[in-house]
Chains A and B, each alone.
Chain A
Amino acid sequence: MLIIILILLVIPLFIGLIIYNSLIAKKNQVANVFGTLDALLKKRYDLIPNLVAAVKGYAEHEKGVLTEITELRSRAVSGQAKGDEAAAQDNKMTQLLGKIMITVENYPDLKANENFLKLQGSLNEIEEQISAGRRAYNAAVTEFNNAVEMFPTSIVASLFGHKQKRLFEINQTERENPNIKNVMKG
């Protein structure tokens, strides 16, 4: 009798333990991918002074955008923003960089500059990596959120106060196809 009671007690405990561990693993996966994404964003911020320096000499008229980029960068690098705000900053940066890359088309000298071409390549590369990082982050968050919401993991999740995490969303302006005319005007 005692054995049966013990088994009945141990089995749910054991299952609970497995579920708890899987939840923690998923949570850590989110943190892990976020770390990678963060590193990629930093890498992009590191490229920006070079870009600004390269563009400045050629494109006098783009000073406005360049200052905006520099300001945004210093704010981002100081590292005050967390979570949603950081995401918003990142989105804004992507947008501004896109804008610069299109306006450069007006400056044939700049486009022919070897240094600038290399920078452009690096930026394209890092943008692509960041977008991969976002996708990886969202995949990890979705997996975690599913576990938090789905039975039976949801029980353990609510017991330990795990809440759903937010996806890294792309803002509305970015989701639209870039309208080159508008960007040129800006």
Chain B
Amino acid sequence: MKTQEEIYQYYGTHLKGALAELEEKRKALAKKIILSMAIGIGACIFIAIILGPAIIFLFPFAVIIVLLIAFLIGRSDLGKTYALEFKTRIIQEIIRFIDPGLIYSNKSYIAEPVFMLSDIFKTHPDRYGGDDLVRGAIGETGIEFCELHAEYKTETTDSHGHRRTEWHTIFKGLFIMANFNKNFNGKTIVLPDVAERFFGGFGKMLQGWNMARPELIKLEDPEFEQLFAVYGTDQVEARYILSTSLMERITNFKKKTGKKISLSFVGSKIFIAIPYAENLFEPRLFRTIIDFEPIKKYFDDLQLAMGVVEDLNLNTRIWNKQ
């Protein structure tokens, strides 16, 4: 793990040059988008003048068209090369700086069957994607993480017979998979606790009735119990995995992320899902990138994921599993 000073120093010596070059491309791209939007808006105003006040009804369409132009340019080859170059020159370098043993590939992501295997999420995604896969070993622990977005769709038909498809997010954020340092056969799932926080003891009873999940496991750590609901196929094995020290470490890790994290232990692996609202490891477009603030954010997000090994003490190998 790198300290804030080390990161700042690295930013000054290694990243600033590349950022300055990329800044030119960013500016060109941003200019293009703004110009296209201006032309679009100009065209709309021109049409409005010709058509008169009736245009007011077309106003929402105009807004959509203008935004679409911006979006398409952002997604065009120009936008893509900018993002790609940014990732290879900046994100990859940052990862290499944190740990040279890690491999980064900006287009890959953890496959859907693995995501479903973790059993954190029950809904099968209809649309699944991601990027920014980092893979390697930290100490003795193999780890893989990436950004994921999994969605399912619902289709409704209204009274006029119009079909409407809506997409709902199952999970969006950072998904981490690492080798766990103990062997086990069953499944243990640690989910953020919603019921208990609001309903106390009654909530606990509700958790017990969750049919989609295996048995509820009640653990001794009151703080951990407040934050999580644990389900597992084996009462003893779940406690073997969730030792008192690991519960404390998970509690601290949850506090560190400040997010509703979920974990699962399946097939001698640990899976962690950390939801994020924003896209991770993406470059800014309308603001300068020669700035330490976003760089620090990339570092923090990456170190959070890699820190799992240390935070959860996964490198301790005093058991038979090597």
Contact = CB atoms under 8 A, between A and B. Distances in A.
A109 B219 CA distance: 41
B156 to A, nearest CB: 40
B131 to A, nearest CB: 38
Interface in B224-267: 235-240, 243
B218 A132 contact: no
Contacts of B235: 29, 33, 36, 136, 139-140
A129 B220 contact: no
Given A118-B320, A121-B318, A140-B235, A128 B240 contact: yes
Interface of B: 182-183, 218-220, 235-240, 243, 318-320
9 contacts: A29-B235, A33-B236, A121-B318, A125-B182, A132-B236, A132-B239, A132-B240, A135-B239, A136-B238
Contacts of A129: 236, 240
A125 B236 CA distance: 13
A158 interface: no
Given A125-B182, A125-B320, A139 B240 contact: no
Contacts of B240: 128-129, 132
A135 B236 CA distance: 8
Nearest to B244: A135
A149 interface: no
Contact of A122 (B182, B236, B320): B320
Contacts of A143: 218
Nearest to A118: B320
Interface string A123-148: 01100110111011011100100000
A135 B318 contact: no
- Tell me the interface secondary structure of chain B in the complex: loop
The 9 lowest CB-CB distance pairs between A and B, nearest first, are A132-B239, A132-B240, A121-B320, A125-B319, A136-B235, A136-B236, A135-B239, A124-B318, A36-B236
* A contact residues, range: 20 to 34
Interface string A12-50: 000000000000000001000100110010000000000
Contacts, number: 50
Given A121-B320, A128-B243, A139-B219, 14 more contacts: A36-B235, A40-B236, A118-B320, A124-B318, A124-B320, A128-B182, A132-B236, A132-B240, A135-B219, A135-B220, A136-B235, A136-B239, A139-B235, A139-B239
Contacts of B219: 135, 139
Contact of B319 (A124, A135, A139): A124
Contacts of B318: 120-121, 124
B21 to A, nearest CB: 52
A139 B236 contact: no
B236 A133 contact: yes
A158 B273 CA distance: 47
A185 B60 CA distance: 85
A128 B319 contact: yes
Contacts of B319: 121, 124-125, 128
A132 B243 contact: yes
A125 B241 CA distance: 11
B320 A139 contact: no
A131 B236 CA distance: 9
A133 B318 CA distance: 19
B299 to A, nearest CB: 35
A44 B183 CA distance: 17
A37 B240 CA distance: 12
Nearest to A121: B320
Contacts of B237: 132
A89 B318 CA distance: 25
B68 to A, nearest CB: 57
Contacts of A33: 235-236
B277 to A, nearest CB: 37
Contacts of A132: 236-240, 243
A110 B240 CA distance: 28
A137 to B, nearest CB: 8
Nearest to B183: A125
Interface in A124-179: 124-125, 128-129, 131-133, 135-136, 138-140, 143
A124 B243 CA distance: 13
A29 B235 CA distance: 10
A107 B235 CA distance: 38
Contacts of A135: 219-220, 239
A143 B219 CA distance: 12
Contacts of B238: 132, 136
